[in-house]
Amino acid sequence: MLDHLELRTQQLDLATAFYARVLAPLGYSLKVDEEIKKGFGDDHGLDFFLVHGAATAEKAHYAFAAPTRALVGACFEAGRDAPGGKLDRPAALMPQVHAHYYASFLRDPDGRLVEFVCHAPE
């Protein structure tokens, strides 16, 4: 499976502030703070990076796993005040995917669809 994800953005400071806010409920924080590269991780390591450069994947969609439905909602709520982001879809059950698929969606400063998902039953 994936080891890490790296995204390019022309708005590095804005994207860093956005992801710092919406990933905080999952225990992520800024671990690498270089001029043209930022890295986020939790107690288990680094796995999400932002790099200054042309954002070529506006149609990208990726999901961050949340261990509980409450954290799916918390990430979405953090997006309300996240710099440069936009709310897309609030937390809801999506039984068309599977019986316990619970997700919320935001747009990052580059317009990419960012999902937070929990697969566990309530």
Indicate the number of domains in the chain.
1
On average, the pLDDT of the chain sits at 94
Inter-residue contact 75 to 26 (CB < 8 Å): yes
pLDDT digit string, tens, across residues 63-121: 999 999 999 999 999 999 999 999 999 999 999 999 999 999 999 999 999 999 999 99
Structural domain containing residue 111: 5-118
| CATH number of the domain where residue 38 is located | 3.10.180.10
